[in-house]
Amino acid sequence: MIPVVRRNTELGLILLVIIITAGTYTLASLGTTSDLPADIGPFLGIVLALLAGAHVATRHLAPGGDGVLLPIAGLLNGLGYVWIARLDEDLAGLQATWTAVGITAFVGTLALVRRTRDLERYRYTFMLVGVGLLLLPLVPVVGKTVNGARIWVELGPISFQPGEFAKIILAVFFASYLVDKRELLGMAANRIGPLTLPNLRHFGPVLLAWAASLLVMTAQRDLGSSLLFFALFVVMLWVATERASYLAVSGLLFAGGAFAAWSVFAHVQQRIAIWLDPWSDVTDQGFQVVQATFALAWGGVAGTGPGLGNPDRIPLIETDFIFVAIGEELGLLGSTGIIVAYLLMVGTGLRIALRAETPFNKLLATGLTTILGIQSFIIIGGVTRLVPLTGITLPFVSYGGSSLIANYILLALLIRISDDNASAGVGADRRAGAAP
C-alpha cells in the first residue's frame, strides 16, 4: 500500500522536475543567445533517462523508500546543471558525466546495501577507511593543494576530494559506535546547575573528534569540512545520549578552537576580516563576496531571468558560489526555493529518523540528514555573509564529481532506511487497514 503510493508520488514529482529543468534550460539559452538551445532534444533525453533510471531502480530495490527525496535531489541537480551549462560549457559536459556516475552510485548503493545492519557490522573497517580518506590529502605524493586548501587527491588520471566520501563513512561509523556506547556515554555523574554532566573521561571521544577536526582545519586549511565533521559528531552524540551537556561542552570547545585558530593563522583572520567588512578590500580579498552581494541585490525579487545576469564576474561561481548565480537570475523567489528544497530534504530525513525501528538506523538517518543540512547552511550562509565564508560545495547543485557522487550515495542510504521502516511497519499498516 505505502510502496505503491510513494512510488507514484515519486514518478509524478520527477515528471514535474523534468519540466522545470528543461524549461529553465531553454530560458537560459533564450537569455544568453536569444535562440532555442540546439541540444534541447538530447538534453531532455538524458535528463529523462537518468531520473527514470533512478526511479525504476528504486521501484525494484527499495519499493517502500521515501518518495520525495529523489525528486528534490533531481531538481537541485537539474537547476545546478542549468547554471553550470550557462556559465561554462566544458564544465557542463563533465557535470553531466558526474551526474550519470552519481545516479549509478545511487542505484549501486541501493543494490549493495540491502539491509543497513550489514553496515553496522563493519564499524571499525569503516572507521579506518573514513579516517584514512580524511587524512589522504596530507600524504605527500598523492595530495594536492588547490586554492589554498589541501583537500584533493590525485591518483594517476583521477583526482577527487576524499573528504566528501569520508563524511558518509564516518557517519556510519559514529552511528554504530554510539549505538554500542550510548548508555555508557549517557550516564550521569556530576550536576552543575541545570546541566547533568557525564563522567569526565567520557568526553574522550569528543576531544578526539575535536582534535581531528582541528587537524583538518590547520593541516588541510579546510574550515568548512572541519566544522562539518565536528558538528556531525556532536549532533549524533547528543541525539544518542540525549545529554545536552555534550552540546554545551562541544560548543565551548569549538569556540575555543576557533578563537585559537583565529589568533594563530593568517588565513583564518583573513576570512573573518572579509566577513566583517568586505568593503575595505573591494578589489582584492573582498572582491568575491562583494560581487556576490551585488549580484544578489541586482537579482531583486524575481531575478534578472535565466541567462540575463552577469554571474560570471564572480570567481568560483560554478562551485562555491552557484547559489549566488541562481539568486541573481531567479531572484529572492528562486534562491528561497533552493533553501526550501534543503529544508524539505532535512525535514524528510528527520522524519525517516523518527520512524526508524532500530537505534542504528535512527542515528544513521540523523547523521546523514545533519550532513546535508549543515553543509548547505555553511555555504549558503557563507555566500550571503551570514557566517564567515568557508569553501564547501552546495549539495547536488555545485559543480564537482566527488560531491555529487557522495551526495547520491547519502541519498540512497536515507532511502534504504526509509524502506526498512516501511517494511517493518507492514504489520501496523495491516492493523490500521483492518480497523473500521
Partner 1 sequence: MPESLLTILKLCALALLYLFFLRVLRAVWAEVASTRTAAAAVPQAPPGRVSAPRRSAGRREKASSHLTVMEPAEQKGRSFTLADELTVGRAAGCQITLDDNYVSQLHARVFLRDGMLYVEDLGSTNGTYLNSHKVSSPVAFKRGDRLKIGSTVMELTS
Angle CA(65)–CA(81)–CA(405) in degrees, nearest 5? 50
Choose between 158 and 428: whose C-beta lies nearer to partner 1: 428
Choose between 70 and 134: whose C-beta lies nearer to partner 1: 70
Choose between 19 and 49: whose C-beta lies nearer to partner 1: 19
The CB-of-16 to partner 1 minimum distance in angstroms stands at: 5
- Please provide residue 389's backbone torsions phi and psi, each rounded to the nearest 5 degrees: -75, 125
Choose between 192 and 434: whose C-beta lies nearer to partner 1: 434
The CB-of-23 to partner 1 minimum distance in angstroms stands at: 5
For residue 302, CA distances in Å to 269, 277, 299 come to 36, 28, 7
The CB-of-84 to partner 1 minimum distance in angstroms stands at: 17
The CB-of-408 to partner 1 minimum distance in angstroms stands at: 19
123: closest CA among 178, 73, 83?
Answer: 178
Choose between 19 and 211: whose C-beta lies nearer to partner 1: 19
For residue 381, CA distances in Å to 49, 83, 279, 323, 406 come to 34, 20, 18, 10, 22
The CB-of-1 to partner 1 minimum distance in angstroms stands at: 9
- How many helical (H) and strand (E) elements, i.e. helices and strands, does the chain have? 16, 5
How many angstroms separate the CA atoms of 395 and 77, rounded?
Answer: 8
SS3 174: helix
Calculate the CA 344 to chain-centre distance. 13
Choose between 398 and 418: whose C-beta lies nearer to partner 1: 418
The CB-of-236 to partner 1 minimum distance in angstroms stands at: 14
Q: How many residues does the chain have?
A: 436
How many angstroms separate the CA atoms of 307 and 414, rounded?
Answer: 35
The CB-of-256 to partner 1 minimum distance in angstroms stands at: 32
How many angstroms separate the CA atoms of 7 and 4, rounded?
Answer: 5
Choose between 334 and 367: whose C-beta lies nearer to partner 1: 334
Cα torsion angle, 108, 111, 116, 118, sign: negative
Choose between 71 and 391: whose C-beta lies nearer to partner 1: 71
The CB-of-147 to partner 1 minimum distance in angstroms stands at: 32
Angle CA(364)–CA(369)–CA(373) in degrees, nearest 5? 150
List residues bridging with 192 in a β-sheet: 195
How many angstroms separate the CA atoms of 175 and 180, rounded?
Answer: 9
Choose between 116 and 370: whose C-beta lies nearer to partner 1: 116
Choose between 156 and 433: whose C-beta lies nearer to partner 1: 433
Calculate the CA 108 to chain-centre distance. 19
Task: Please report, as ranges, the residues that interact with partner 1 according to CB under 8 A.
Answer: 2, 5-6, 9, 12-13, 16-17, 19-20, 23-24, 27, 30-31, 34, 67-68, 71-72, 75, 117-118, 120-121, 179-183, 302-303, 305-306, 308, 330, 333-334, 337, 340-341, 344, 347-348, 351, 357-360, 424, 427-432, 434-436
The CB-of-153 to partner 1 minimum distance in angstroms stands at: 32
Choose between 349 and 401: whose C-beta lies nearer to partner 1: 349
- Please provide residue 113's backbone torsions phi and psi, each rounded to the nearest 5 degrees: -95, 90
* Other beta carbons less than 10 A from residue 352's beta carbon: 28
Task: Give the 3-state DSSP-derived string for 204-247, with helices as H, strands as E and coil as C.
Answer: HHHHHHHHHHHHHHHHCCCHHHHHHHHHHHHHHHHHHHCCHHHH
C-alpha cell at 36: 532555442
The CB-of-227 to partner 1 minimum distance in angstroms stands at: 28
The CB-of-118 to partner 1 minimum distance in angstroms stands at: 8
Are 413 and 113 contacting, i.e. CB atoms less than 8 angstroms apart?
yes
C-alpha cell at 348: 524528510
